[in-house]
């Protein structure tokens, strides 16, 4: 993976009066990375995405896109961005080619490069065979492809995708995920989604925002290590007593699940699996099941974000409301 940092967020905050929608978050995304950006409803994710795409100004902090500060050099910074909102900004009455020609002109691609830019975007997104078809007659999966094509037609450094697979069937989801991974070869990709398996199958790194603050920033490899549980589920035809299992080195605590099954809390550095297998054979316990209990990404997400007091992610129009109340 190339080490070029294509997006840098420095101490980013957004406040609406006393409400802190985003509070002092910082991170980087390098070329070749697909960053999964997660958060429960009202966590500050939407506000952050609006700031990153230049649709909302921060109260403090900086957003730098491929070397350009989005406040100091907004035109240059936004030229390095490609964005697919949750609802693709497509015109159903246009053909695929007509729409992408329109998008290419909006992005000020020179006339002598228009055809190549459109053909490249269609080829990368699997749209070449549909170039003459009306967008309104395409399946939702192909409409999503058109949305991604408009986001990459000007070869931006950073591509931001908001819920790109919502409403798609399993085959379409797989195709879009493959396309996202392909995009990362030449871009930084930020993927905002509520679909947790999508993050595990598509992203290199995952961030979770909660109550306006980043509460997790891990590579997928490191996250997979965290998901390895310190528990074992075991079952015997002739089960021993709990005390016999607790006497095995590396076993911290034993919970009885039913007459034959037990949940063992173990010391990861002193894995008792081999000892359990040997003792079962020696004592005729007839071990027939032994499996590590993995934590899911959903369990990690819930553990991090669960709280009695939910944060409210304020939309931009709320600023005027708050200002009116203060007068």
Using one digit for the tens of pLDDT, what is the confidence trace for 7-32?
A: 999 999 999 999 999 999 999 999 98
Using one digit for the tens of pLDDT, what is the confidence trace for 126-168?
A: 999 999 999 999 998 899 999 999 999 999 999 999 988 877 8
What are the structural domain ranges in the chain? Answer: 5-80+156-226, 229-293
How buried is residue 104: exposed, middle or buried, by Cβ count under 10 Å (0-12/13-18/19+)?
buried
pLDDT confidence tier of residue 34, bands split at 50, 70 and 90:
very high
Q: How many CA atoms lie within 13 A of 131 on its CB side?
A: 12
**Is residue 312 pLDDT above 60, yes or no?**
no
Contact 275, 263 (CB under 8 A): no
What whole-number distance in Å separates Cα of residue 64 and Cα of residue 52?
Answer: 9
> Are 5-80+156-226 and 229-293 equal in CATH topology?
no
Using one digit for the tens of pLDDT, what is the confidence trace for 48-89?
A: 999 999 999 999 999 999 999 999 999 999 999 999 988 889
Q: Is 147 strand, coil or helix?
A: helix
- Of 1.10.287, 1.10.3470, 3.30.70, 3.40.50, the CATH number of 229-293 is 3.30.70
Token look-up 């980013």 returns 12
Q: Is the pTM of this model over 0.85?
A: no
Stated length of the chain: 327
CATH of domain 5-80+156-226: 3.40.50.300
């Amino acid at each position: 993976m190339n080490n070029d940092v294509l997006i840098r967020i420095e101490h980013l905050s957004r406040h609406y009066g006393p409400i802190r929608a985003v509070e002092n978050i910082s991170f980087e995304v390098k070329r070749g990375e697909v960053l999964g950006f997660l958060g429960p409803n009202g966590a500050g994710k939407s506000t952050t995405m609006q700031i990153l795409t230049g649709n909302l100004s921060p109260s403090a902090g900086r957003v730098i896109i491929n070397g350009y500060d989005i406040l100091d050099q907004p035109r240059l910074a936004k030229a390095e961005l490609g964005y697919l909102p949750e609802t693709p900004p497509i015109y159903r009455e246009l053909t695929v080619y007509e729409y992408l020609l329109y998008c290419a002109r909006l992005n000020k691609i020179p006339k002598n490069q228009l055809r190549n830019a459109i053909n490249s975007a269609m080829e990368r997104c699997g749209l070449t065979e549909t170039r003459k078809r009306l967008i309104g007659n395409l399946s939702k999966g192909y409409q999503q492809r058109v949305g991604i094509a408009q986001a990459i037609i000007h070869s931006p450094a950073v591509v931001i995708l908001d819920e790109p697979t919502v409403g798609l069937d399993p085959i379409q989801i797989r195709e879009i995920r493959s396309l996202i991974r392909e995009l990362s070869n030449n871009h930084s990709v930020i993927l905002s989604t509520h679909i947790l398996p999508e993050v595990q199958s598509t992203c290199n790194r995952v961030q979770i925002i909660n109550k306006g603050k980043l509460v997790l920033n891990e590579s997928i490899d490191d996250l997979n290590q965290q998901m390895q549980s310190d528990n074992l589920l075991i079952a015997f035809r002739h089960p021993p007593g709990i005390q016999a299992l607790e006497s095995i080195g590396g076993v911290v605590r034993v919970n009885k699940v039913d007459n034959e099954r037990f949940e063992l809390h173990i010391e990861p550095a002193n894995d008792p699996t081999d000892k359990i297998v040997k003792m079962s054979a020696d004592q005729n316990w007839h071990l027939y099941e032994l499996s590590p209990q993995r934590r899911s990404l959903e369990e990690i997400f819930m553990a991090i974000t669960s709280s009695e007091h939910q944060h409210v992610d304020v939309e931009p129009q709320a600023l005027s409301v708050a200002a009116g109340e203060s007068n």
